[in-house]
Amino acid sequence: MTVTLAPATTEAHTPHPSTPPASTARRRRWRPGLLAAGAYLILLVVAAVWPAVLAPGDPLAADPLGVLEAPSAAHWLGTDHLGRDVWTRVVHGAGHSLTIGVAATAIAVTGGVLLGLLAGLTHRLADETLSRAFDAISAFPILLLALLFIAVAGPGTVSLIIAIGVATLPHHARVVRGQTLLVRRAAYVEEAVTFGLSRPRLVARHVLPNVIGPVPVLAVIGLGEAIMIAAGLSFLGMGPQPPSPEWGAMLSEGRNYLQVAWWITVLPGVAVTATVVALTVVGRHWQTRFDGRQR
């Protein structure tokens, strides 16, 4: 989705345009937002790996006597229509959401990198064919493509992972292909033959590292997207089935009690949003550092 318009190239010799100093620098040293995002992500990983540390209770334990209780000291985020503790469920849901997101992103990024490199490094015919294929798959809205997959394979966590992975793969592949072409045509690669490097060594030493370098950034931002799509699909009932404490599914369940107990619905939603925001903040920060290095 990053679109660059080919810059208007100037004449061959253009000495220093003598511009006034750094008019666009908008950098601040102290970044509370970045810190908060990092802290949240650490918490999220803890919740996913050892949920009991943050919420020792059982996410499935119903309490018929304490249904739809508002947030209190006993139940930080209240209870749902079955009397289950919302906080415990949100914490235990992190594992589900993160697993789906990470697995889907792994599929998308791995496939994207391999296909993108294949398109960018091999013959023009292969590039043309693959690029058209990426275009074709990108023509389907991601959510609908995932729904198509689920219609074929049936709902469930594994379907969800594969569906999101496949649907977001072309985007990664295109970015990697674009980056590969950019690096391949860069002066430092073109001129490296003058050092007597053979083509395979040139690719290994200069092309691959500079193509792969930005991939983790891509993955972090992609992870946020995957988690959001996953939440949407589970909300529609296509993911992990109740009573599993997945965030999107919790939202869907709580919808019927919106008027009496907003917390059942809103708080898992806030968890999704916070996760995506945190991933985006960290990813963007990383990206600007990368861009700075590339330029």
Partner 1 sequence: MFSSPLRAAARRLAAGLVVLWAAATAAYLALLVAPGDTVDTIVGDGADTPQIRAEIIAEWSLDRPAVVQYLDYLRRLAGGDLGRSYLLQRPVVEVIGEQLAPTLTLALAAAGLGVLLAVVLAVATAGNRRPWLRRASSGAELLLVSTPPFLIGIVLLSVLSFRFGLFPVSGDRGVGALVLPAVTLALPIAGLLAQVLRDGLDRALDEPFVLTARSRGVRERTVLLRHALRHALLPAVTLAGWLFGILLGGAVIVEQVFGRPGLGQVTLTAVTGKDMPVVLAVVTLSAAVYVAVNTIADLTYLLVDPRLRRS
Partner 2 sequence: MAPLLAVEDLHVDFDTPTGRVAAVRGISLTVERGECVAIVGESGSGKSVTARTLVGLAGPGASVRAARLDLAGQDVRGHRPRDWRRVRGRLAGLVLQDALVSLDPLRTVGAEIGEVLATHGIVGRRERAGRVTHLLDEVHLPEPERRARQYPHQLSGGLRQRALIASAIAGEPALLIADEPTTALDVTVQAQILRLLAERRAAGVSLLLISHDLAVVAQVADRVLVMRDGRIVEHGPTARLLRSPAHPYTRQLLAAVPSASSRGHRLAASAVAVGRDGGVARREALPARPEVRPNDTLLDAAGLTRRYGDHTVVRDVSFSIARGETLGLVGESGSGKSTLARIVAGLLAADTGAVTFENAQWSGVPERVRRPLRRRLQLISQDPLSSFDPRYRVAQVVGENLDPDVGRGDRRDQVVDLLRRVGLGPDLLDRHPRRLSGGQRQRVAIARAIAPRPSLIVCDEPVSALDVSVQAQVLDLLADLRATDGTALLFISHDLGVVHHLSDRVLVMHDGAVVEQGPVGDVFTYPRHDHTRSLLDALPTLVTAGRPQEVRP
Q: Which residues bind partner 2 (CB under 8 A)?
A: 8, 10-23, 25-29, 186-188, 190-191, 193-196, 198-199, 206, 209-210, 213, 293-295
Choices 53-61, 66-74, 117-125, 128-136 (CB under 8 A): range interacting with partner 1 = 128-136
271 binds, among partner 2, partner 1, none (CB under 5 to 8 A by kind): none
SS3 89: helix
CA 202 vs CA 117, 206, 223: distances in Å: 15, 6, 32
Cβ-based neighbour number of residue 181 at 10 Å? 16
- In the complex, least distance from residue 167 CB atom to partner 2, rounded to whole angstroms: 32
- Other beta carbons within 10 Å of 75: 21
Stretch that binds partner 1, among 57-65, 139-147, 186-194, 197-205 (CB under 8 A): 139-147
Q: Does 41 bind partner 1 (CB under 8 A)?
A: no
**Residue 57 near residue 85, CB atoms below 8 Å:** yes
Residue 2 or 14: the one with the smaller Cβ distance to partner 2 is 14
Q: Cβ closer to partner 2: 13 or 124?
A: 13
* Listed residue (46, 145, 34, 44) closest to 101, CA to CA: 44
Q: Which is nearer to partner 2, 2 or 19 (CB)?
A: 19
Q: Cis peptide leading into 20, omega within 30 of 0? A: no
Half-sphere exposure of 193 (CA within 13 A, CB side): 7
Name which of 119, 234, 247 is nearest 176 in CA terms. 119
Nearest approach, Cβ of 136 to partner 2 (angstroms)? 31
Query: Which of partner 2, partner 1, none does 16 bind, CB closer than 5 to 8 A by kind?
Result: partner 2
- Reported as type and span, the H/E element at residue 87 is helix 86-121
Binding site for partner 1 (CB under 8 A): 1, 3-5, 8, 17, 23-24, 26, 132-133, 135-145, 147-153, 224, 228, 231-232, 235-238, 248, 251, 255, 258-259, 262, 265-266, 269-270, 272-273, 276-277, 280-281
